[in-house]
Structure 1
Amino acid sequence: MAAQVHSGPVVSLGSLLSKEGRRDPNPHYAELHRHGPVGRLTDPADRFDIVVHGYDAVHQALRDPALHVMTGEYPDRRDSRRWRAHPALRTLVSSIFFTEGPDHTRVRRLFGQAFSARRIAALEPAVVRIVDRRLDRLAELGADGSPVDVLAEFALPVPSDVVGELLGVPEADRDWFPERVRAFGAILDLGVGVWRFQQAADAAAEDLTGYFADLVAKRRAEPRDDLISELASASSNTGAPVHGQAEGVQLHDDELLANLLTMYNGGFVTTTHLIGNGLTLLLDRPHETERVLADPVRAAGFVQEVLRYEPPTHFSIRWAAADTELAGVPVPRDSRVLVLLGAANRDPARFTDPDGFDPGRDEGQPLSFGAGIHYCLGAVLSKLEGQLALPMLLRRFPKLALAGAPGERTTLMLRGYESVPVTLR
């Protein structure tokens, strides 16, 4: 039976985008849920037309072919081409994160090979080796009992090393990335204030693009057994498409560089916050630490619950390329749609006691990695890193404790702490 169409309640994002809302968005999510799964936004300050927050409605929105990611077509149709002057925005729009249709399918098929079950399984020994090496470094830094920033010295470098290992970024270069990755990612959050970060993001995009262009050229000249070498052989530096090795997939060099940049950035920042958020939850729940250490299956459930309870990504954005409807609410063509993944993960219609932390719950997957054709390519790898890194850290340092408050989280995209000081005792 078709869903009954209705106008939907009028709601506001004002409290979510306030200072308090950014610190803790969950009370705002709870208020949205009291109004149903989809709301209309009429305040120009909200900058969106529709907000989707119920679990089933979010799942529907992420799979609706009428709802597109924010491709370059959207601002072009609104006679706003200013985005083309910004290297960071041009890079994003050239990546699979912001493409649709055949271009998205073609590039995703090629990059998807990097995250195949076979390749991820083969990477597990490297993940263990990387974690062990970073644990040794932590032990050196905290040997005298002084506080150590476990985010900077462990939660950030571990996934950076892992994605570097996967792609083929030399180990000696990996410490160069975090500063530029932070600058590039700052423009992805909600609110007009993010535009003040645009200049730094553009500079970071140019630095990162230049780095990968040089690395691709080196791998073309001297191929190695790594993903960048494979992808370099499936692209053209002449501007013309060539047939790659993966079932005739074609790839332009600008697509290759944009996707290497965004894949590297996205491949470790979200996992950094998964580990950082997960560790603070464990340290606040000693009984849960004991269970995670005793049972690898419990570790997998713990990571999944972290992704539901404190996800590193709280939203996604879509625009309506055609008229559609969500949970019976009309979504007219050209509507700007805010899809609140974090709210869907706290939907009381889907999860029992949604504001409670329960690694033993079996109520379906959280939507932290999205759904549909834009489901996160690195989801399996990110979960694997969390399931390995957190137990290894706590086994190595069973008396690890917070050395101070980890600070506030004030972003909704790439949501995590700036630092997590600990003592190893």
Structure 2
Amino acid sequence: MQTVIALKDLFSAEGRRDPYPFYADLHRLGQASPLDPAVDRYSVVVHGYEAIERLMRDSTFRMLDAAYLDQLDRRPEPLWRRRPSLQVLQQTVFFLNPPEHARLRRPLAQAFTARRMARLEPAIVRLIDRRLDHLEEMGAGGRPVDFMALFAYPLPSDVIGELVGVPEEDRAWFPARSEPFSLVLEPGPQNWRYLQAGDAAAGELTAYFADLIAARRAAPRDDLTSALLQAQASGEAEFSDAELVSNLIGLYNAGFLTSVHSIGNGLILLLDRPEAHAELTNRPELAPAYVEEILRFKTPVQFGVRWAAADTEIMGVPVPAGGEALVLLGAANRDPRRFADPDVFDPSRPDNHPMSFSVGPHYCLGAALSRLEIQLALPMVLRRFPRLSLAGPPRTLDLMTFHGYQEIPVTIS
């Protein structure tokens, strides 16, 4: 008989701060566990690496798209349609199912070409150096500074801004709006507060990208926004301006926050492990292996949700039609069936393929870009500031949506 569990411990303050003991308990139960719909909104929680890989490739399990949300609320105007943030999200490639998903993903994927990524590398190095200069200036004389505020947040905003075509002078404006917009999906009783802040951010972001599209249509440049507008004008891509605005917002936020928290998480993991710190400082060519282990060990995006389009099962756990599956990517990355000694940070582990960027049709479009900037950033930080150390306890985010730090006080000399 399968054990029915409850998610209250995972969604508690302690569970959000450190979900890994809860994940370890789940792994002892198998790869997926049934939930009581009278207690939790989900029918099943999926936590094993193999189970999640299978679910993500199974067309029976679908994204929570607009049609599904409308079925849940059959009023003439469903409540979700009154929320600007949710309206924007529902037009993004991240929440679409076939055939609409392919219609939008194809031109977006073509914009993330290997050639475009390679051309970005010198710009990323330049942006890292500029942020390190500012960190050095602000931390002169041993003055404590916040690594997140001065480096981990602004750098990914610079990088994704460079790709999308956001002018340098506008990029500092984004972090204060990107995070509130992304947190509208944070589960739990406080969600209404996140929705209010996210709605306000969605309005500002929509207006900004509408103006950017108008500017690039009038005067194209060598950036992703111009490339997408060219594809739209030539008929190679079929999307409306509203869809383009929504997807630029989605791409900016997805590409920004995953990198933010991976850089912050990586710094703390290295400061806590002097041998790893020294190895990566002296051998920056190991950065790709280190980044994969950082992504595995402290997964920046912890979960996703799918719904079953028909009666089905996952690893023997039945899921009714219309039932929702909570997909714990962070748990998959600590699955002892897939990773030996999963609670040990080991950049040398073989066959290290974390689930941090998802898998299947919804594999993260910006995964290569995110990996590249983290691989470049962390060794450059360590080489520039070999004596960088904590100036106080880091402050965690205590969220399920993003796993990382709100503040990391450091001294650099």
Instruction: Report the Cα offset of residue 422 of structure 1.
Output: 0.5
SS where residue 341 of structure 2 aligns?
A: coil
- Pick from 365, 370, 385: which aligns with 2:373? 385
Aligned partner of 2:242 in structure 1 is: 254
Q: Does 1:334 align with 2:319?
A: no
* Residue of structure 2 aligned with 1:156, choices 128, 153, 156: 153
Does the CA contact (< 8 Å) of 1:114 and 1:166 recur in 2?
no
Is it true that 1:200 corresponds to 2:188 in the alignment? no
Distance in 2, Cα, partners of 1:363 & 1:195:
41
The match for 2:35 is: 41
Distance 2:83 2:234 in 1: 30
Q: Is the 8 A contact 2:177 2:205 kept in 1?
A: yes
Matches within 5 A, 1:71-90: 71-80=65-74, 81-90=78-87
Say if 2:349 is the partner of 1:369. no
Correspondence 1:11 to 2:8: no
Counterpart of 2:133 in structure 1 is: 136
117-126 or 208-217, larger mean C-alpha shift: 117-126
| Kept in 1: contact 2:181–2:202 (CA 8 A) | yes
Asked if the contact 2:94/2:362 (under 8 Å) is kept, the reply is yes
Contact 1:8 1:38 (C-alpha < 8 Å) held by counterparts: no
Q: What is the match of residue 142 of structure 2?
A: 145
**Following TM superposition, by how much is the alpha carbon of 1:65 offset from its aligned partner in structure 2, in angstroms?**
0.4
Q: CA deviation at 1:285?
A: 0.8
What amino acid sits opposite 1:49 in the alignment? Answer: S
The DSSP-based 3-state class of the residue aligned with 2:243 is helix
Q: Distance in 2 between matches of 1:265 and 1:390?
A: 21
Deviation of 1:243 (Å)? 4.9
Alignment partners' CA distance in 2, 1:188 and 1:52: 18
In 2, are the aligned partners of 1:68 and 1:318 still within 8 Å (CA)? Answer: yes
- Match of residue 226 from structure 1: 223
AA of the residue aligned to 2:177 = R
- Distance of 2:368 and 2:339 partners within structure 1: 22
SS in 2 for 1:358: coil
Q: Secondary structure at the match of 2:267?
A: helix
Root mean square deviation, CA, Å: 1.3
1:24 and 2:18 correspond: yes
**CA distance in 2: counterparts of 1:265 and 1:129, whole angstroms:** 22
Give the superposition deviation at 1:280: 0.5
Which contiguous aligned blocks of 4+ residues in structure 1 show a shift greater than 6 angstroms? none
* 1:292 and 2:286 correspond: no
- State, as a whole percentage, how many aligned pairs show the same letter: 53
SS of equivalent residue, structure 2 residue 129: helix
Q: Distance in 2 between matches of 1:89 and 1:45?
A: 25
Number of matched pairs: 410
Distance 2:284 2:412 in 1: 23
CA apart distance, 1:50 = 0.7
Pairing 1:349-360 to 2, within 5 Å after superposition: 349-360=337-348
Q: Structure 1 unaligned runs (5+)?
A: 1-6, 236-241
Question: Is residue 293–residue 299 contact of structure 1 (8 Å, CA) maintained in 2?
Answer: no
TM-superposed CA distance for 1:296, in Å, is 3.2
Unaligned runs of 5+ in 2: none
Q: Is the 8 A contact 2:111 2:227 kept in 1?
A: no
- 8 A contact 1:55–1:344 mirrored in 2: yes
Matches within 5 A, 1:271-290: 271-290=259-278
> 1:91 and 2:91 equivalent?
no
Tell me the SS of whatever aligns to 1:192: coil
Distance, in Å, in 2 between the alignment partners of 1:29 and 1:202 is 32
CA distance in 2, matches of 1:118, 1:9: 50
Query: Which residue identity does 1:371 align to in structure 2?
Result: V
Distance across 2 between alignment mates of 1:224 and 1:121: 18
Q: Displacement, 1:338?
A: 0.2
More deviation in 299-308 or 185-194?
185-194
Question: Over residues 200-222 of structure 1, what are the superposed CA-to-partner deviations in whole Å (9 max), with x where a residue is unaligned?
Answer: 11111010000000110111111
Q: What's the offset of the Cα at 1:295?
A: 2.2
Give the residue type in structure 2 aligned to 1:300.
P
Give TM-score scaled by structure 1 length. Answer: 0.94
Provide the rounded CA distance (Å) in 1 between the counterparts of 2:294 and 2:161: 24
Counterpart of 1:411 in structure 2 is: 399
Measure the CA separation in 1 of the matches of 2:286 and 2:222. Answer: 35
CA contact (8 A) 2:44 2:317 kept: no
Task: Determine which of 162, 165, 172 is the counterpart of 1:165.
Answer: 162
Q: Is it true that 1:100 corresponds to 2:94 in the alignment?
A: no
CA contact (8 A) 2:34 2:43 kept: yes
Q: Which residue of 2 aligns with 1:311?
A: 299
How far residue 315 of structure 1 moved from its aligned partner, in angstroms, is: 0.4
Moved more, 111-120 or 136-145: 111-120
* Residue identity in the other structure for 1:18: S
The letter for the 2-side match of 1:156 is Y
TM-score under structure 2 length normalisation = 0.97
Amino acid at match of 1:252: S
CA deviation after TM superposition for structure 1 residue 114, in Å: 2.7
The one-letter code of the counterpart of 2:270 is L
